Amino acid sequence: MEQVNKTHNFSAILRNCDAVGILEAHAVLPEKGVGLSDHTSAGTGKWIRVHRHRTVSEAADLLHGSGFRILAAHPSEGAVDFRRADYTRKVAIMVGAELEGISQEGLTVADERIVIPMAGMARSLNVSVATALVLYEAFRQRDAAGMYEESRLPPERFRRILFEWTHPDLAEFFRRRGHPYPAMSEEGEALVEPGFNLP
């Protein structure tokens, strides 16, 4: 997200991400910042890690270094219909604030530009609505390719995330003390060693 400056849009985008199984988002925030609305996001700010960056180039360098192709959702010359992009690859979707869209810096660092075809007079959709359309096309392609049939997370990361989601207070307790998370039972109970003092 580049300069997405409305709280309800920022929160709605995170909710869209959660709906299709995305665990992380990256953001270059406006100078005044942007808050998360617990009401709008239905708490998804707790499930999705947001990485904040100072510049678009900084975010792009990190993503490219991790093997991502960056698709800029922006109605501009050379943009292809968003349904023609291949989302079964390792891709990151870049979106910008309404009216302004993605900056020239953002378009420069993107590997490809995508656009949502429109038949009416409006030039663009609300950024959270546009993001939802692109993410659900990605979801459709990935589901058809069988990419949701089993977790693709490394087992240790899966266990860490599961513990943090199911026991957020305990996770915070163990993190503050520099202790590893305990194992969990099949029922999701934290298996804390006898005598360990919990809060």
Assess whether 23 and 82 both reside in one domain: yes
pLDDT, one tens digit per residue, over 77-97 is: 889 999 999 999 999 999 998
Assess whether 49 and 102 both reside in one domain: yes
Assess whether 14 and 87 both reside in one domain: yes
pTM of the model: 0.82
Q: 33 vs 10, 24, 163, CA distance in Å?
A: 11, 19, 30
pLDDT, one tens digit per residue, over 160-193 is: 989 988 898 899 989 898 989 999 999 999 988 7
**pLDDT for residue 74:** 93
Domain that holds residue 22: 7-144
Assess whether 94 and 55 both reside in one domain: yes
- CATH number of the domain encompassing residue 114: 3.40.1280.10
Domain end call among 100, 125, 144: 144
pLDDT, one tens digit per residue, over 124-164 is: 789 999 999 999 999 999 999 999 999 888 999 889 989 98
Any domain includes 2: no
Assess whether 18 and 84 both reside in one domain: yes
- Number of domains within the chain: 2
Assess whether 133 and 168 both reside in one domain: no
Torsion sign (Cα): 70, 154, 54, 127: positive
Three-state SS sequence of the chain: CECCCCHHHHHHHHHHHHHCCCCEEEEECCCCCCCCCHHHHCCHHHCCEEEEECCHHHHHHHHHHCCCEEEEECCCCCCEEHHHCCCCCCEEEECEECCCECCHHHHHHCCEEEECCCCCCCCCCCHHHHHHHHHHHHHHHHHHCCCCCCCCCCHHHHHHHHHHHHCHHHHHHHHHHCCCCCCECCCCCECCCCCCCCC
**pLDDT for residue 39:** 44
pLDDT, one tens digit per residue, over 2-49 is: 999 888 899 999 999 999 999 999 999 887 656 554 444 445 556 788
Assess whether 101 and 36 both reside in one domain: yes
**pLDDT for residue 27:** 94
Assess whether 174 and 122 both reside in one domain: no
